[in-house]
Amino acid sequence: MPQSMPVLTELTPELDAFIAEWKDKPGNLIMVLHKVQQVYKFIPRDVALTVSKKLDVPLAKIYGVMTFYHYFKLEKPGDHQISVCMGTACYLKGGDDLLKELESELGIGVNATTPDGKFSIQAVRCVGCCGLAPVITIDGEVYGSLKVARIPEILEKYK
C-alpha cells in the first residue's frame, strides 16, 4: 500500500516572510527554527517539514539541529514553564531538592508536561542569578533564595 504524502502546514504570513528573508543567508536554519519556536512555543513536526521544503534542507538535518541544541523543543510545553537551576551554586544550596519537590507536587518528571497541559519542568545549567541560589523561574519570573516549603505556595499562583 503506498504511503500518503505528508501535508505541508500553511505558515503564518509573518513566519513565511521571515523564511523568505532568511532563505539564502548563512545560518538561516537556526534563525528560522528560533522564529518557529517563538511562534509555536515548540517546533511541530509538520512545521519542520514545511521549513525543510521551503529552505530545501533535508528534514534529517533539521532534526539534527533541533536535537543538538537543548533550546529547541520537540513537544508542546505546558502553559507555565518551570526551569530549575542546577548550576553549581544552586545545586549546592538545594536545587535538586527543589526539583524533587516540583516533581512530587506536579506528578511529572523533568522534561515532561502535566496531563492538563498547565506545567512543564526542565532542569537548566544556570540562570545567572547565583547570588540568589537556589533559583527557579516560572515563565521567566525568578524565585530566589528558595526553600522547598515555598513550592506549593508559588505553584498556587499559576493554577
pLDDT in tens, the chain (159 residues): 455 545 567 899 999 999 999 999 999 999 999 999 999 999 999 999 999 999 999 999 999 999 998 789 999 999 999 999 999 999 999 999 999 999 999 999 999 999 999 999 999 999 999 999 999 999 999 999 999 999 999 999 999
What does R_g of the chain's alpha carbons equal in angstroms? 19
- pLDDT of 7 reads 53
Amino acid at 8: L
pTM of the model: 0.77
- pLDDT of 70 reads 79
Q: DSSP letter string over the chain? A: -PPPPPPPPPPPHHHHHHHHHHTTSTTHHHHHHHHHHHHHSS--HHHHHHHHHHHT--HHHHHHHHHHSTTS-SSPPPSEEEEEE-SHHHHHTTHHHHHHHHHHHHT--TTEE-TTSSEEEEEES--S-GGG-S-EEETTEEE-S--GGGHHHHHHTT-
CA–CA distance, 107 with 119 (Å, rounded to integer): 10
Q: How many CA atoms lie within 13 A of 39 on its CB side?
A: 18
- pLDDT of 10 reads 85
Amino acid at 84: V
Give φ, ψ of 48 to 5 degrees: -60, -40
Burial of 96 (0-12, 13-18, 19+ CB in 10 A): middle
* Domains in the chain, CATH or no CATH each: 13-68 (no CATH), 80-156 (3.40.30.10)
- pLDDT of 71 reads 84
CA–CA distance, 54 with 18 (Å, rounded to integer): 11
